[in-house]
Amino acid sequence: MLYVPRHVQVEPGITVVSGYNATFLEGAVIGHVKQVTLKKEAPFYDIELMFSTDFSKLQHVYVVKNALKQEKDDLEQHTREFYE
């Protein structure tokens, strides 16, 4: 999981539920926090998740094209560069 700021309390075992985003439906259970690390000067945690769904066993999926993907990617890249 990326870009969780250090002021948020995160610990192994907590359930991760989707908020508003372009990947998961709001309120969907994503999984549980498996491991949390925070480097001394890092603005964000490094978080490893245990997903609630075994994606290797999915049989049917919907593919949705995001018309704003390039803009989203550009904003995320700008944010990463700002904090590095």
Q: How confident is the model at residue 45 (pLDDT cuts 50, 70, 90)?
A: very high
User: Is this model's pTM higher than 0.75 or not?
Assistant: no
User: Whole-number mean pLDDT of the chain?
Assistant: 87
Q: What is the DSSP string of 52-76?
A: SS-GGG---------TTHHHHHHHH
Name the percent of the chain lying above pLDDT 90.
36
CA–CA distance, 44 with 54 (Å, rounded to integer):
27
